[in-house]
């Protein structure tokens, strides 16, 4: 197999990128994609005729296995997260609520603001008291 670099003009054929293992097909002469740092190898037509059915067979055989593996991975990951969350909640319940960083240096209750006396008389309150007193006296 002949070695080529990216942006080099080549004949039509199959070219394999050795870094990414991607296959580039050119149906007519042209330039290879990529930069000069990427290397390509030309794959002969006889090798492609042999490799294509083998790769197709591998794809058909391993596709169901990949599906089962993905389902098992998903179920396993969900089960792991469920167990981990349950364990975290169990530890949270068992952990004491003591907070050593808080300092309670006094035993007294917090100071409440002093009640202010209103000097203005409340007219509504006086009217209601008067009505209640009148009702009590009439009975």
Cα dihedral value 117, 122, 126, 132, nearest 10: -80
pLDDT at residue 100 in the model: 67
Q: Which residue has the higher pLDDT, 72 or 1?
A: 72
Task: Tell which residue, 49, 52, 24, has the closest CA to residue 10.
Answer: 24
- Share of residues in the chain with pLDDT > 90 (%): 54
Strands, E assignment, 32-113: 39-43
Arithmetic mean of pLDDT over the chain: 86
pTM: 0.45
| pLDDT per residue as tens digits for the range 62-85 | 999 999 999 999 999 999 999 999
pLDDT at 116: 63
What was the pLDDT predicted at 40? 95
Sort residue 110 into left (φ over 0), alpha (ψ -120 to 50) or beta: beta
Q: Which of 36, 28, 27 is nearest to 8 (CA)?
A: 36
Rounded-to-integer distance, Cα 8 and Cα 41, Å: 12
Check if the beta carbon of residue 29 is closer than 8 Å to that of residue 11: yes
């Amino acid at each position: 197999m002949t070695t080529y670099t990216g942006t080099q003009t080549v004949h039509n054929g199959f070219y394999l990128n050795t870094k990414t293992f991607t296959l580039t097909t050119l149906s007519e002469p042209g330039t290879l994609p990529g930069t000069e740092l990427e290397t390509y190898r030309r794959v002969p037509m006889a090798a492609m005729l042999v490799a294509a059915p083998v790769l197709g067979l591998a794809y058909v055989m391993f596709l169901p296995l990949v599906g089962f593996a993905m389902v098992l991975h998903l179920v396993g990951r969900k089960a792991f997260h469920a167990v981990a969350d349950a364990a975290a909640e169990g530890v949270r319940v068992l952990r004491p609520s003591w907070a050593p960083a808080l300092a309670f240096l006094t035993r007294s209750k917090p100071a409440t603001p002093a009640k202010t006396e209103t000097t203005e008389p409340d007219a509504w309150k006086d009217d209601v008291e008067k009505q209640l007193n009148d009702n009590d006296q009439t009975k």
